Homo-oligomer: A and B are copies of this chain.
Amino acid sequence: MSGSASLAQPQDFTVDAFHRGDFHLVQPRKGHRAGMDAMMLAAAVPSLFAGRIADLGAGAGAAGLAVISRCTSAKAVLVEREPEMADYARKSLALEQNARIARRAEVLEADVTLGGKARAAAGLADDSFDFAIMNPPFNERADRASPDEMRRAAHVMEDHLFDRWLKTASAIVRPRGGLALIARPQSLLAILAALEGRFGDAQIVPIHPRPDEPAIRIVLRAVQGSRAALSLMPALFVHDVDGRAFGAHADAISNGRATLFND
């Protein structure tokens, strides 16, 4: 780990095993840490996928690395705007434990919301990917803000965010290429509106903590340029009723042993 000198203290980061040790991730001890969301997102990519995939807003790279760990002919570009997080992604690729996958990944420091020539100049050329995955950031604090005005502002910001991110995804993914995203159910309208005219044949898998509780996430997969109608797929339950441990299917999915769309 030659780059570790740029970190203030060794204990500022952790090295975590994912997919039962198939790959590892260097990530900050504090702040956003990769977990189930990234693994569920990665599990939306078919196991036979063999092309070039963009992990948009990759953070330390958990989702993108999970895809290429399972899809052994796929190549990932981990697109991250924050230099510190991009640095963690580079450190992940430098780990000895990731030698099997590191040659099929690269880190691109770029802003997903760039458009036009600036986007291409940043390394995100039109039609240059076969698939894009994204776990767009959301602001939980804004949801809890009680004044209507603030909530409305957060709402507008989120609409804008999905529109920009999906505009970029639609531009860089080739026709009939794939998209997968993970988000909160309350973002459905913003997401479906932003997909219009860009991606179709959307398939949504709701993710519920338990079979009798509302969904906490949706994973959506869609096809660039398709006009086919949306489908609402069977849900995934993270835990069985009353269970604390992951259910068997959720465990297999989060460990790269099964996929969300059974392909």
Contacts and interface: CB of A to CB of B under 8 A. Distances in A.
B234 A188 contact: no
A127 to B, nearest CB: 21
A46 interface: no
Contacts of A227: 148, 151-152
Nearest to A262: B212
Contact of A193 (B193, B231, B235): B193
Contacts of A185: 229-232
B211 A234 contact: yes
Given A215-B232, A218-B232, A232-B214, A193 B186 contact: no
Interface of A: 143, 148, 151-152, 185-186, 188-189, 192-193, 196, 203, 206, 208, 211-215, 218, 227, 229-235
Contact of A214 (B148, B211, B214, B231): B231
Contact of A189 (B148, B208, B212, B230): B230
Nearest to A151: B227
A167 to B, nearest CB: 17
